[in-house]
Structure 1
């Protein structure tokens, strides 16, 4: 029998798992953001990422207005609406992205829910290693009056979960984590090590640049010693993603501690599918789940059992 630590895991058949719409999205993304981009300089990575995001930008829905401002000394963009305030923390491996990369995502959350959205332009690595991004996001959350909701995708999901734990505050009415990387090392890291859009090698590359202790719960929320006091949580995983198991592990910890949480896996979707919400039916349904959940959390009547 082979050593269990080295047991081979069957590689997924992505041609079967991923539908034609999603493959079209993958090819379009790779045309703008080639797989070898991580080997380039940080400045080039950011330039290419911003250009790619702009290619997918769909503009603001009618009636949405936004302006930039400083909150707790951190540059932010506020999309006007009513409370509670949705604090949005963008993805990008803690290295790329900013207010423009997720601008239309935030605008559409504002339009779909009517809620005010505050996007945070936290400091990036490697110029500002951990805990700079965490400190910025926590400072903005603390400086935002009244009730809040936390939302983050990918790296932003890790930041949202870490901020929720640091606050442990009933002002946080809920959090939605979209394909978050929470510091776990479940089977998905091996099973989907070579997934389209994000590989295990990519995950390791960005972790090295971040420079955080992998046992530090402010960097890896799954490493926390307890999960009490966390807000109602929806954790969404993409099936074809090395990070897929993190969402389920995190939700399980919260429920075991007596909290309300659920993890859902979006079948056949890949990391970064937020940008596919207008062209891929599965991604459109996932984004609709995000906005519906935020509306329910804001109204105070969300429950994991309500999820399809």
Structure 2
């Protein structure tokens, strides 16, 4: 099948493959099961049919990993994948391009607002996933639109610098600068300093957690809430979930090794708390958190250990494992119903968490 894909002109490939993907997801359940294969069960969990079907379709195209021979190729692959999954942009959301000044130059950003929202509202400063190497404003455009519309909040998506061109701690520095910018410009962004949250998926979850920890420990304005979707929070240890779910489930063990090598280089001490916040001795006083993990994910165990550590430190935490899903499902909303269901629940928790600081009328 991958040979057939190569015959499709590159410009038409996302459209053609996207049509095939969405046609497969529209088939009756027995036919979807036939394509997906027998149910996959690991560690007492069963993978959802939607996730298994997507992996089967991915295998047919010959694309089975997020890493690549070069960062440029990996970025191109992610752009194509986004074009395959996502169709029309979600309506009902006003979108504006912005620029964030930092000590290391201007960062592109994108501000999302539900069209009916005219008064001040909570704001989510969002950091995209992609192993600190891939991903951009466009790759997570659908997810940010969805959170804005469904949670009823503004979302500021940040295009931080990527590795290996800008290695650790560049992404962290940019994330911290972006949060500080949001606090300083709260009124201009349609919010208040005490209504600003941080969030992200995977590497973006890592950045959100690190910003939350750093601002709290520096006694500066900290986020009102942190949304951590399948976050990477400890680069120093390979846990059991890296072994169990390290192959064939979108994010692989090899991908994580490659991403970390690109981000940190081989010589960096990976216990640095700006990278491995799970290793902090004291997590008390951090912002309330929603920690989302998924069952079939190499990063599952470190995310769940972080949620436990936060709770033990007295931080209000909603820890939620979607045990039938895979890493990266936040970018798959337009593919399958199960992904929508999970994101709807996350958006509801985000809305509830941010409403704690919102005054009643």
- Is this contact kept in 2: 1:195–1:240, CA < 8 A? no
Mapping 1:162-201, distance limit 5 Å: 162-168=210-216, 171-183=222-234, 185-201=238-254
More deviation, 15-24/160-169? 15-24
**What is the CA-CA distance between 1:193 and the residue it aligns to?**
2.4
Q: For each residue in 1:210-232, what CA deviation from the matched residue of structure 2 results, as whole angstroms up to 9, or x when unmatched?
A: 11531011011112221022111
Equivalent in 72, 76, 80 of residue 113 of structure 2: 80
Q: In structure 2, how many angstroms separate the alpha carbons of the residues matched to 1:222 and 1:148?
A: 23
CA distance in 1, matches of 2:282, 2:44: 40
Cα 1:113–1:68 change in 2 (3 A) is same
Determine if the alignment matches structure 1 residue 28 to structure 2 residue 57. yes
Per-residue deviation, residues 248-280 of structure 1 (Å, max 9, x unmatched): 111111111111113221121111111333443
Q: Is the 8 A contact 1:195 1:242 kept in 2?
A: no
Name the structure 2 match of 1:59.
88
Distance 1:14 1:228 in 2: 32
Q: Distance in 1 between matches of 2:221 and 2:76?
A: 39
Query: What secondary structure, in the 3-state scheme, does the structure 2 residue paired with 1:100 have?
Result: coil
- Normalising by structure 2, report the TM-score: 0.75
Q: Which moved more, 1:24-33 or 1:174-183?
A: 24-33
User: What TM-score, normalized to structure 1?
Assistant: 0.87
CA distance in 2, matches of 1:24, 1:143: 41
Match of 1:225 in 2: 281
- Structure 2 spans left out of the alignment, 5+ residues: 1-39, 115-119, 184-192
Check 1:255–1:96 CA distance in 2 against 1; reply closer, same or farther (3 A cut): same
Match of 1:135 in 2: 173
Corresponding residue SS for 2:121: strand
Q: Is the 8 A contact 2:245 2:296 kept in 1?
A: yes
1:256 correspondence with 2:334: no
Cα distance change, pair 234–195 in 1 and its aligned pair in 2 (3 A): farther
Native 8 Å contact 2:133 2:163 kept in 1: yes
**What's the counterpart of residue 137 of structure 2?**
99
Q: Number of paired residues?
A: 292
Would the aligned equivalents of 2:167 and 2:263 in 1 still touch at CA under 8 Å?
yes
Aligned counterparts of 1:234 and 1:246: Cα–Cα separation in 2: 15
Alignment deviations for residues 63-89 of structure 1 (CA, whole Å, 9 cap, x no partner): 211111112332111112542211111
Residue ranges of structure 1 left out of the alignment (5+ in a row):
1-10, 303-308
Q: What CA distance in whole angstroms lies between the structure 1 residues aligned with 2:65 and 2:329? A: 19
Tell me by how many angstroms 1:130 deviates.
Answer: 0.4
What displacement does 1:174 show?
1.0
Which one of 54, 78, 90 corresponds to residue 128 of structure 2?
90
SS at match of 1:217: coil
Q: Does structure 1 retain, via aligned residues, the 8 Å contact 2:226–2:289? A: yes
How many angstroms apart in 1 are the aligned matches of 2:285 and 2:44? 42
Q: Counterpart in 1 of 2:263?
A: 210
Assess, with a 3 A threshold, how the Cα gap between structure 1 residues 256 and 86 changes in structure 2: closer, same or farther: same
Structure-2 residue corresponding to 1:246: 302
Across the aligned residues of Structure 1 and Structure 2, the Cα RMSD in angstroms comes to 2.3
Tell me if the contact between 2:41 and 2:47 (Cα under 8 Å) persists in the aligned partners: no
Q: In the alignment, which of 336, 345, 353 is matched to residue 280 of structure 1?
A: 336
Q: For the residues of structure 1 that align with 2:152 and 2:297, how far apart are their CA atoms?
A: 31
Which of 141-150 and 95-104 deviates more?
A: 141-150
Task: Give yes or no for the alignment of 1:43 onto 2:72.
Answer: yes
CA contact under 8 A between 1:274 and 1:287: conserved in structure 2? yes
Q: Is the 8 A contact 1:266 1:282 kept in 2?
A: no
Summarize deviations over 1:186-220 as a string: whole Å, max 9, x none: 32122222251112221111111111531011011
Q: Distance in 2 between matches of 1:37 and 1:194?
A: 11
